[in-house]
Amino acid sequence: MSDFPPEGGEATLVDNKVIPVMREAILTMQMLLFMVLRQSIHDRYVDWTEPEHTRLAGAVINNLFGTRPADAAVAAFGAANRELVERELRELALTCAPLMPLLTDTLRMKTICDNQEGIHSIPTLLMAKALGILQEERELPLPSTFMQKVRGLAAEYGLVTPMVPAHEAPPR
């Protein structure tokens, strides 16, 4: 078997069947980061309302991942509070420090998935590097390892039910 792509084709870093599953893990990590960041914002901005906590956290996550907000209120909040969003981005490595290793993996996996789908998202990684979020010395995990780590953390936070090995699962 050759290490070279077929003539006229491109080498792929990830099997196209794996991309949707990796995208799910990336979205799960975004939800985890959102939960942790929203709690941090809640603790630091005690005079704010819950919708303001949620909108600020959403604006930060959207900026970090280079995504457009699905919620118009989050988009408007982010635009009206640009300096605050940028300050939260600069402080993210401190406010959400325990998540930084897995966030590094997530941003890298997102870039790989994007690349496989013809989307240029290197600027997201460059911004994360400039913000001190990207842990460059960290080795890129295999996709399966990444997905397992995200699922394990999501289970710890109660976002998903923990996986139980087949030999330990109760009979159906």
Handedness of CA 56, 49, 70, 140 (dihedral sign): positive
- The answer to the question of residue 147 being in a domain is yes
One digit per residue, the tens of pLDDT, for the chain of length 172 reads 333 344 444 445 566 788 999 999 999 999 999 999 999 999 999 999 999 999 999 999 999 999 998 889 999 999 999 999 999 999 999 999 999 999 999 999 999 999 999 999 999 999 999 999 999 999 999 999 999 999 999 999 999 888 776 667 666 6
- Number of structural domains the chain divides into: 1
Answer whether residue 120 is part of any domain.
yes
63 in a structural domain: yes
Identify whether 87 is part of a domain: yes
Query: What domain range is 132 assigned to?
Result: 19-155
> What's this model's pTM, rounded to 2 decimal places?
0.85
In contact, 62 and 78? CB cutoff 8 Å: yes
DSSP string computed for 44-110: H-TTS-HHHHHHHHHHHHHHHHT---SSHHHHHHHHHTHHHHHHHHHHHHHHTGGGHHHHHHHHHHH
Instruction: Tell me if 39 is assigned to some domain.
Output: yes
What is the Cα–Cα distance from 32 to 36, expressed in whole angstroms?
Answer: 6
CA distance 64 to 158: 23
Q: Is residue 148 part of a domain?
A: yes
